[in-house]
A and B are shown apart, each in its own frame.
Chain A
Amino acid sequence: MIALLTRDLRLAIRAGGGFGLGLAFFLILAVLVPLGVGPEGRVLALIAPGILWVGALLACLLSLDRMFALDFEDGSLDLLATAPIPLEGVVAIKALAHWLTTGLPLVLAAPVLGILLNLPGPAYGWLVLSLLLGTPALSVIGAFGAALTVGLKRGGLLMSLLVLPLYVPTLVFGAEAVSRGAQGLPAATPLLLLAGITAGSAALLPFAAAHALRINLR
Chain B
Amino acid sequence: MTTTTRPSLWEYANPVKFMRLTDWLLPLVGWAAAALVLVGLVWGFFFTPDDFRQGSTVKIIFLHVPSALMAINAWIMMLAASLVWLIRRHHVSALAARAAGPVGAVMTLIALFTGAVWGQPMWGTWWAWDPRLTSFLILFLFYLGYIALWSAIEDPDTAADLTAVLCIVGSVFAVLSRYAAIFWNQGLHQGASLSVAPGTRMDWAYKAPLYVAMTGFGLLFLALVLAGTRTEIRARRMSALMTRERMQA
Contacts and interface: CB of A to CB of B under 8 A. Distances in A.
A30 B183 CA distance: 27
Given A161-B145, A162-B145, A208 B180 contact: no
Nearest to A214: B161
Interface residues of A, number: 27
A66 interface: no
Tell me whether chain B's interface is mostly helix, strand or loop, or mixed: helix
A173 B176 CA distance: 11
Interface string B136-176: 00100110110011001100001001100110111001101
Contact of A208 (B148, B168, B174): B168
A161 B183 CA distance: 24
Contact of B165 (A176, A197, A211): A211
B158 A216 contact: yes
A149 B149 CA distance: 8
Given A152-B153, A158-B148, A169 B177 contact: yes
A169 B134 CA distance: 12
B184 A172 contact: yes
A47 B141 CA distance: 24
A104 to B, nearest CB: 24
B181 interface: yes
Interface string B173-210: 11011011101100000000000000000000000000
Given A164-B141, A172-B184, A208-B168, A151 B176 contact: no
A208 B169 contact: yes
Given A168-B177, A169-B173, A176-B183, A212 B144 contact: no
Interface string A167-188: 0110011001000000000000
B176 A165 contact: no
A14 interface: no
B166 A162 contact: yes
Given A148-B149, A152-B152, A193-B183, A168 B158 contact: no
A126 B162 CA distance: 37
A215 interface: yes
Contact of B177 (A149, A165, A208, A211): A165
B180 A212 contact: no
B165 A165 contact: no
A193 B174 CA distance: 15
A173 B180 contact: yes
A215 B165 contact: yes
A45 interface: no
B176 A169 contact: yes
A36 to B, nearest CB: 20
A199 to B, nearest CB: 13
Given A151-B158, A162-B166, A208-B165, A168 B183 contact: no
Interface of A: 144, 148-149, 151-152, 155, 158, 161-162, 164-166, 168-169, 172-173, 176, 190, 193, 197, 205, 208, 211-212, 215-216, 218
Given A158-B145, A169-B179, 10 more contacts: A149-B152, A165-B145, A166-B170, A168-B177, A169-B180, A172-B183, A190-B183, A208-B165, A215-B158, A216-B162
